[in-house]
Protein backbone atom coordinates (compact mmCIF):
# COMPACT_ATOMS: atom_id res chain seq x y z
CA UNK A 1 0.00 0.00 0.00
CA UNK A 2 1.33 3.44 -0.95
CA UNK A 3 0.66 6.67 0.97
CA UNK A 4 1.33 10.27 0.00
CA UNK A 5 2.60 11.05 3.49
CA UNK A 6 6.28 11.71 4.16
CA UNK A 7 7.54 10.01 7.31
CA UNK A 8 10.98 9.21 5.96
CA UNK A 9 13.62 9.32 8.70
CA UNK A 10 11.15 9.70 11.58
CA UNK A 11 11.41 7.41 14.59
CA UNK A 12 8.50 5.57 16.18
CA UNK A 13 7.89 3.44 19.24
CA UNK A 14 5.20 0.81 18.79
CA UNK A 15 4.12 -0.98 21.95
CA UNK A 16 2.52 -4.39 21.75
CA UNK A 17 4.41 -4.88 18.50
CA UNK A 18 4.88 -8.63 18.79
CA UNK A 19 1.50 -9.47 17.24
CA UNK A 20 -1.79 -8.18 15.85
CA UNK A 21 -2.36 -4.48 15.22
CA UNK A 22 0.98 -3.52 16.77
CA UNK A 23 2.87 -5.80 14.41
CA UNK A 24 1.03 -4.34 11.42
CA UNK A 25 1.72 -0.79 12.56
CA UNK A 26 5.43 -1.60 12.80
CA UNK A 27 5.51 -3.07 9.30
CA UNK A 28 3.59 -0.20 7.70
CA UNK A 29 5.72 2.45 9.38
CA UNK A 30 8.96 0.73 8.45
CA UNK A 31 7.80 0.44 4.84
CA UNK A 32 7.38 4.24 4.82
CA UNK A 33 10.96 4.84 5.94
CA UNK A 34 10.33 5.17 9.67
CA UNK A 35 12.88 3.85 12.15
CA UNK A 36 10.80 1.57 14.37
CA UNK A 37 11.37 0.56 17.97
CA UNK A 38 9.33 -2.63 18.31
CA UNK A 39 8.39 -2.96 21.99
CA UNK A 40 6.66 -5.85 23.73
CA UNK A 41 7.22 -8.52 26.36
CA UNK A 42 7.78 -11.43 23.94
CA UNK A 43 11.32 -10.79 22.76
CA UNK A 44 11.45 -13.91 20.57
CA UNK A 45 8.46 -12.69 18.54
CA UNK A 46 9.97 -9.23 18.27
CA UNK A 47 13.16 -10.75 16.87
CA UNK A 48 11.16 -12.42 14.09
CA UNK A 49 9.40 -9.14 13.29
CA UNK A 50 12.62 -7.12 13.23
CA UNK A 51 14.23 -9.70 10.97
CA UNK A 52 11.31 -9.50 8.52
CA UNK A 53 11.39 -5.69 8.46
CA UNK A 54 15.15 -5.64 7.98
CA UNK A 55 15.03 -8.16 5.13
CA UNK A 56 12.54 -5.90 3.38
CA UNK A 57 14.86 -2.92 3.65
CA UNK A 58 13.41 -1.26 6.73
CA UNK A 59 15.05 -0.20 9.98
CA UNK A 60 13.81 -1.67 13.25
CA UNK A 61 15.09 -2.74 16.63
CA UNK A 62 13.47 -4.83 19.35
CA UNK A 63 13.21 -3.65 22.95
CA UNK A 64 11.64 -6.00 25.49
CA UNK A 65 9.35 -4.10 27.85
CA UNK A 66 6.50 -4.72 30.28
CA UNK A 67 4.40 -1.56 30.00
CA UNK A 68 3.02 -2.04 33.51
CA UNK A 69 6.53 -1.52 34.96
CA UNK A 70 7.59 2.15 35.04
CA UNK A 71 11.30 1.35 35.33
CA UNK A 72 11.07 -0.65 32.10
CA UNK A 73 9.27 2.23 30.41
CA UNK A 74 12.14 4.51 31.44
CA UNK A 75 14.61 2.06 29.93
CA UNK A 76 12.56 1.89 26.74
CA UNK A 77 13.16 5.58 26.08
CA UNK A 78 16.83 5.31 27.05
CA UNK A 79 17.23 2.46 24.55
CA UNK A 80 15.27 4.24 21.81
CA UNK A 81 17.42 7.36 22.12
CA UNK A 82 20.63 5.34 22.04
CA UNK A 83 19.50 3.47 18.91
CA UNK A 84 17.73 6.09 16.77
CA UNK A 85 17.77 9.38 18.71
CA UNK A 86 14.63 11.25 19.75
CA UNK A 87 11.25 9.64 19.08
CA UNK A 88 8.74 11.42 16.81
CA UNK A 89 5.81 8.99 16.85
CA UNK A 90 4.29 6.94 19.64
CA UNK A 91 1.82 4.11 19.06
CA UNK A 92 0.27 3.07 22.38
CA UNK A 93 -1.04 -0.31 21.32
CA UNK A 94 -0.11 -2.68 24.17
CA UNK A 95 -3.08 -3.97 26.11
CA UNK A 96 -5.13 -6.93 27.19
CA UNK A 97 -8.83 -7.76 27.10
CA UNK A 98 -8.42 -10.03 30.09
CA UNK A 99 -10.67 -12.92 31.01
CA UNK A 100 -14.36 -12.40 30.35
CA UNK A 101 -16.50 -12.64 33.49
CA UNK A 102 -19.35 -10.76 35.18
CA UNK A 103 -18.41 -8.04 37.64
CA UNK A 104 -19.50 -10.00 40.72
CA UNK A 105 -16.96 -12.72 39.92
CA UNK A 106 -14.06 -10.40 39.17
CA UNK A 107 -11.24 -9.96 41.67
CA UNK A 108 -9.69 -6.61 42.53
CA UNK A 109 -6.35 -7.79 41.15
CA UNK A 110 -7.93 -8.59 37.77
CA UNK A 111 -9.51 -5.13 37.70
CA UNK A 112 -6.26 -3.43 38.71
CA UNK A 113 -4.21 -5.25 36.09
CA UNK A 114 -6.59 -4.27 33.28
CA UNK A 115 -6.29 -0.60 34.22
CA UNK A 116 -2.51 -0.79 34.54
CA UNK A 117 -1.91 -2.37 31.15
CA UNK A 118 -4.67 -0.63 29.16
CA UNK A 119 -4.84 2.82 30.73
CA UNK A 120 -2.04 3.64 33.16
CA UNK A 121 0.58 2.46 30.66
CA UNK A 122 -0.74 4.96 28.10
CA UNK A 123 -0.38 7.76 30.66
CA UNK A 124 3.13 6.73 31.72
CA UNK A 125 4.50 6.22 28.21
CA UNK A 126 2.84 9.31 26.73
CA UNK A 127 4.14 11.47 29.58
CA UNK A 128 7.72 10.41 28.91
CA UNK A 129 7.29 10.76 25.15
CA UNK A 130 5.97 14.30 25.52
CA UNK A 131 8.70 15.35 27.92
CA UNK A 132 11.52 14.31 25.59
CA UNK A 133 9.97 16.26 22.70
CA UNK A 134 9.19 19.36 24.76
CA UNK A 135 12.76 19.40 26.09
CA UNK A 136 14.17 19.64 22.55
CA UNK A 137 11.36 21.68 21.01
CA UNK A 138 10.19 19.07 18.48
CA UNK A 139 6.64 18.24 17.34
CA UNK A 140 5.28 14.71 17.37
CA UNK A 141 2.26 12.45 17.19
CA UNK A 142 0.65 9.99 19.58
CA UNK A 143 -1.85 7.35 18.49
CA UNK A 144 -3.63 5.53 21.32
CA UNK A 145 -5.27 2.33 20.12
CA UNK A 146 -8.67 2.12 21.77
CA UNK A 147 -11.65 -0.15 21.19
CA UNK A 148 -15.30 -0.08 20.28
CA UNK A 149 -15.76 -1.32 23.86
CA UNK A 150 -15.06 2.24 25.00
CA UNK A 151 -18.38 3.30 23.47
CA UNK A 152 -20.47 0.12 23.28
CA UNK A 153 -20.17 -1.74 26.55
CA UNK A 154 -19.71 -5.49 26.06
CA UNK A 155 -20.99 -8.10 28.47
CA UNK A 156 -18.64 -9.65 31.02
CA UNK A 157 -15.82 -7.18 30.24
CA UNK A 158 -16.26 -4.30 32.67
CA UNK A 159 -12.49 -4.00 33.21
CA UNK A 160 -11.77 -3.76 29.48
CA UNK A 161 -14.64 -1.38 28.68
CA UNK A 162 -13.76 0.96 31.55
CA UNK A 163 -10.05 1.02 30.75
CA UNK A 164 -10.60 1.70 27.05
CA UNK A 165 -13.15 4.43 27.82
CA UNK A 166 -10.44 5.92 30.00
CA UNK A 167 -8.02 5.84 27.07
CA UNK A 168 -10.48 7.80 24.96
CA UNK A 169 -10.92 10.55 27.56
CA UNK A 170 -7.20 10.58 28.39
CA UNK A 171 -6.47 11.14 24.71
CA UNK A 172 -8.84 14.09 24.50
CA UNK A 173 -7.36 15.74 27.59
CA UNK A 174 -3.77 15.08 26.52
CA UNK A 175 -4.43 16.60 23.11
CA UNK A 176 -5.41 19.86 24.81
CA UNK A 177 -2.39 19.85 27.13
CA UNK A 178 0.11 19.02 24.38
CA UNK A 179 -1.26 21.10 21.49
CA UNK A 180 0.80 24.21 22.43
CA UNK A 181 3.95 22.10 21.99
CA UNK A 182 3.02 20.75 18.58
CA UNK A 183 2.29 17.26 19.86
CA UNK A 184 -0.87 15.71 18.52
CA UNK A 185 -2.76 12.96 20.33
CA UNK A 186 -5.39 10.70 18.82
CA UNK A 187 -7.58 7.89 20.11
CA UNK A 188 -8.29 5.41 17.34
CA UNK A 189 -10.48 2.35 17.19
CA UNK A 190 -8.25 0.54 14.71
CA UNK A 191 -10.53 -2.18 13.47
CA UNK A 192 -9.10 -1.77 9.97
CA UNK A 193 -5.45 -0.86 9.85
CA UNK A 194 -4.60 1.27 6.86
CA UNK A 195 -5.20 4.80 5.72
CA UNK A 196 -7.81 5.58 8.38
CA UNK A 197 -5.36 4.99 11.24
CA UNK A 198 -2.14 5.80 9.42
CA UNK A 199 -3.25 9.29 8.39
CA UNK A 200 -3.24 10.45 12.00
CA UNK A 201 0.52 9.97 12.15
CA UNK A 202 1.16 12.50 9.43
CA UNK A 203 1.23 16.21 9.95
CA UNK A 204 4.80 17.31 9.09
CA UNK A 205 4.68 19.63 6.09
CA UNK A 206 8.21 19.33 4.84
Whether 1 is in a domain gets the answer no
Whether 95 is in a domain gets the answer yes
Whether 3 is in a domain gets the answer no
User: How many domains, the chain?
Assistant: 1
Summarize pLDDT for 105-137 with one digit per residue, the tens.
889 889 899 899 999 999 999 999 999 999 999
As a whole number of angstroms, the distance between CA 29 and CA 194 comes to 11
As a whole number of angstroms, the distance between CA 12 and CA 39 comes to 10
pTM for the structure as a whole: 0.86
Whether 4 is in a domain gets the answer no
Q: Which residues are identified as catalytic?
A: 160
Per the DSSP assignment, residues forming a β-bridge with 92 are 144
Q: Are 90 and 13 in contact (CB under 8 A)?
A: yes
Whether 164 is in a domain gets the answer yes
CATH code of residue 98: 3.40.50.720
pLDDT at 198 over 50: no
The domain of 27 spans 11-201
Smallest CA-to-CA distance from 176 within 132, 130, 111 is with 130
Of the candidate ranges 8-17, 121-130, 158-167, 190-199, the one whose mean pLDDT is the lowest: 190-199
Amino acid sequence: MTYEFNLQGKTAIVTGASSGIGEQFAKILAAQGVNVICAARRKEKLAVLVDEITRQGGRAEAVAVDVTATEQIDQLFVSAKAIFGSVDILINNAGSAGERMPIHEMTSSEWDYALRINLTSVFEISKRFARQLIDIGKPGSIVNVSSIAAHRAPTHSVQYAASKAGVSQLSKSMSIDLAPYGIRDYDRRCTQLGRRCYQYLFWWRE
